[in-house]
Amino acid sequence: MTTSSLDYLPRLPRFDYLEPETISESCALLAKYGGKAKVLAGGTDLLVSMKRKKQSPTYLINLKSIPGLDYIRYSAKGGLRLGALARLWSIASSPIINDKFRLLATAANKIGTPQVRNMGTIGGNVCNAGPSQDSIPALLVLDARLKLVSQQAKRIVPVDQFFIGPFQTALSDSEILTEIEIPAPRPRSEGCYHWLTKKTEVDETLVGVAVLITPDSTGNICEDIKIGLCSVAPTPIRAKRAEVVMRGRAIESSAIEEAAQVAAEETTPRSRADYRRQMTAVLVKRAVNEVLQKIRQTVD
């Protein structure tokens, strides 16, 4: 019988377990313990990291007992609001997200196994800040904003300013991510998420590409495009130079080919660089063509 290395993960290190019942209480605990504390949401990333001795917090602050942080809300005016504890499975299966933000549902459904999606949260996935987190390219192209709360203040951070390095974010030791805000989609916008999986114990994403296109009324001209990439740079990124290539042009094979090559050039993979760049171009072309097909079906 073949057994993966995950079966031999060591025990968790010792820590004090804290279970606040309000956001205010959670912020007070973070302010008190600072960098010695870590917030537990779903636990699917943090607990594994602790077992591998990559993180050793003295205090673990569990947010699961705080009511009302697992919501999924949508309005045409306010857009989509996701509580930080919204489960990945809930996002993947939500009718409103599948209708209005299908690429986010696709990305959420790609993350981990069914067990992981049932436990893992969107807030935890974002705050883990891994270069290959599948939810983040979708949030990048959807112009998501993150609501961060501390004892002293609240602030809103655009998702493209949140990641400052591999597994590093702009979140301070005293802050908690409470909500993800996504504006209502522009008329005629269509998007999708494509990925290539690296065959490991956890099927980590080797290259991930999210594309969101807003065409003109004919469906032939690209009024706007956003391209989000993961697992091809130290942090998830927007391929902004590739977006410039497409913006304002006819959505045709020559423009798509050029944008795909430029997107590949914007990547900075740390390993298997040539292959990752090649597959970035392939997936960008594939994603743009899929979105173009959706747009033309709608226009027709």
Asked if pLDDT for residue 96 goes beyond 90, the answer is yes
The model's pLDDT over 166-187, given as tens digits with 9 standing for 90+, comes to 999 999 989 999 999 999 999 9
Taking the model in full, what pTM does it have?
Answer: 0.91
pLDDT at position 276 is 97
Per-residue confidence band for 202, with pLDDT thresholds at 50, 70 and 90: low
pLDDT at position 114 is 87
**Where do the domains of the chain lie?**
15-184, 190-299
Per-residue confidence band for 2, with pLDDT thresholds at 50, 70 and 90: very low
The model's pLDDT over 28-45, given as tens digits with 9 standing for 90+, comes to 999 999 888 888 887 777
Show Cβ contacts of residue 53 under 8 Å, excluding neighbours closer than 6 positions. 10, 13
| 48-59 average pLDDT score | 79
pLDDT at position 106 is 97
pLDDT at position 200 is 62
Per-residue confidence band for 1, with pLDDT thresholds at 50, 70 and 90: very low
pLDDT at position 300 is 65
| 225-248 average pLDDT score | 98
Check whether domain 15-184 has CATH 3.30.465.10, yes or no: yes
The model's pLDDT over 144-171, given as tens digits with 9 standing for 90+, comes to 999 999 999 999 999 999 999 999 999 9
Of all residues in the chain, the percent with pLDDT exceeding 90 is 74
Class of domain 190-299: alpha beta
